[in-house]
Structure 1
């Protein structure tokens, strides 16, 4: 690739939160996150930016073909916007990351178009035997 190029990978919200019924998918998307960050560090000297998009629930033909009817009805209801996104709603994230005007100082990062599905930073507080939530540290569109 020539100097000044950019690479945009696609992960998923399950890379950050996991999904018990999609173990292999969650693991592969988590690997894409790590790969993206490592590749960004490797290519930074060549001025090649490497970023990614990690969408939340998005309606695709795969969802309709692979989910049982009861899950199709509720698909996307777990996010505050109470719906799954549409593929066209992801496009601005890719345009933003591809644009030197918008993201020339961004590499090794992910944009999360996900209907405001938050992934809180947390730690286990052994004194109270529960998880303590700190804050959300993600960039949302």
Structure 2
């Protein structure tokens, strides 16, 4: 058996993902009703679990936005290079035009690959959630 120190130090290292062992949920002859220490123990673990749940809900929310931002960033960079292509074409700079076209294509592919990958992952997250 391993004693828990959450009551003494709720911010102790390694407590974030800890769960109660099964024997803590057994109410022997109503001992949890009259024991302030046990009530405090249950409340602390409940709050820790609620915090962990809220943390992962926030992470899921942020990651979905970060996926959207990543695709938009790649598209933005691709459009910037398309602008460089037009500028190079206007100045008759063929080598600069080729390089800008290459960069624009790279960022366009990155955005498409990211979008495809994120759509697959979002589908999995919806099924798992």
> Given the two structures, how large is their TM-score scaled by the length of structure 2?
0.27
- Structure richer in helix, relative to its length: 2
- Structure richer in strand, relative to its length: 1
Higher RCO (CA-CA < 8 Å; seq separation 6+)? 1
> Given the two structures, how large is their TM-score scaled by the length of structure 1?
0.26
Instruction: From the CA coordinates, give the structure whose radius of gyration is larger.
Output: 2
